[in-house]
């Protein structure tokens, strides 16, 4: 059964990079990233939501007067930010090829995955939603008014001064993609971006969180989950 031993050895060696990657991601979730220190101490009387997906996290900002003012350009791009039933603005960042190809993971091509892993332009997706129930995939985080303002500013800093929507079909009739700063790759994923934005808002987060579970562990470890 020499062939079987060789096959098992080959499979084991093929799995080593993946095991190393996910193991380091777990360590990165526990290692703290120094948060922005100049936001100031204030009551955490506001709330943001992180939406956990299979491979991706989105940030949900409350649609208040400040959000309406900061993201007013979305109305011109077709996102109904001022609709009376809208309560949250969903924001996500990712690989242009991977993120904008389709909403169905089963139809992703190997070339698209490879492009995302090795380096691709970053894009940002915006969508709105109404009131949301309590749900395990909706991770609610308490923040101060200053931290919320810093988070908005950090997100906007990744867009052009005059944002122009990409001519792409979204996943819903009202979502839209914009070119965004940064290059996506296997080391800097959408989930790393999430932790970076939280750090910019003065929240302690993991130093390297390339996977959704690493973000979740980081949130739990740093005491941010309130649900």
**Interval 124-143: pLDDT, tens:** 999 999 999 988 889 999 99
The CA distance from 213 to 192, in Å, is: 11
For residues 211 and 155, the answer to whether their CB atoms sit within 8 Å is no
Those residues with Cβ within 8 angstroms of residue 222's Cβ, 6 or more apart along the chain or in another chain: 32, 203, 204, 205, 206
Q: Give the pLDDT confidence score for residue 90 in this predicted structure.
A: 97
32/112: higher pLDDT? 32
Q: Give the pLDDT confidence score for residue 170 in this predicted structure.
A: 80
In this structure, what token pair is assigned to residue 192?
Answer: 């790393």
Q: Say if residue 109's pLDDT is above 80.
A: no
| Biggest CA pair distance of the chain | 70
Those residues with Cβ within 8 angstroms of residue 118's Cβ, 6 or more apart along the chain or in another chain: 185, 186
**Across 24-34, average pLDDT:** 89
Those residues with Cβ within 8 angstroms of residue 33's Cβ, 6 or more apart along the chain or in another chain: 195, 196, 199, 204, 205, 206, 207
Q: Quickly state the pLDDT bin for 16 (edges 50, 70, 90).
A: low
Q: Say if residue 11's pLDDT is above 70.
A: no
**Interval 143-155: pLDDT, tens:** 999 999 999 999 9
In this structure, what token pair is assigned to residue 34?
Answer: 């120094």
Q: Say if residue 106's pLDDT is above 60.
A: no
**Across 49-63, average pLDDT:** 92
Question: In the predicted model, what is the mean pLDDT of the chain?
Answer: 86
């Amino acid at each position: 059964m020499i062939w079987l031993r060789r096959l098992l050895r080959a499979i084991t060696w093929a799995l080593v990079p993946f095991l190393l990657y996910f193991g380091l991601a777990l360590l990165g979730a526990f290692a703290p990233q120094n948060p922005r220190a100049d936001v100031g101490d204030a009551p955490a009387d506001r709330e943001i939501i992180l939406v956990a997906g299979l491979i991706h996290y989105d940030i949900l900002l409350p649609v208040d007067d400040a959000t309406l003012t900061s993201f007013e350009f979305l109305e011109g791009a077709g996102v109904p930010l001022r609709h009376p039933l809208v309560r949250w603005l969903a924001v996500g960042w990712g690989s242009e090829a991977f993120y904008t190809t389709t909403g169905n993971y089963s139809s992703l091509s190997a070339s698209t995955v490879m492009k995302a892993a090795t380096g691709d332009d970053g894009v940002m997706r915006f969508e709105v939603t109404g009131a949301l129930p309590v749900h395990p995939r909706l991770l609610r985080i308490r923040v101060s008014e200053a931290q919320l303002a810093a988070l908005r500013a950090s997100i906007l800093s990744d867009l052009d001064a005059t944002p122009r929507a990409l001519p792409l079909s979204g996943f819903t009739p009202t979502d839209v993609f914009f070119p965004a700063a940064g290059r996506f790759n296997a080391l800097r994923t959408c989930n790393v971006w999430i932790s970076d934005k939280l750090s910019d808002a003065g929240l302690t987060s993991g130093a390297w969180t390339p996977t959704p579970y690493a973000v979740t562990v980081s949130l739990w470890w740093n005491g941010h989950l309130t649900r």
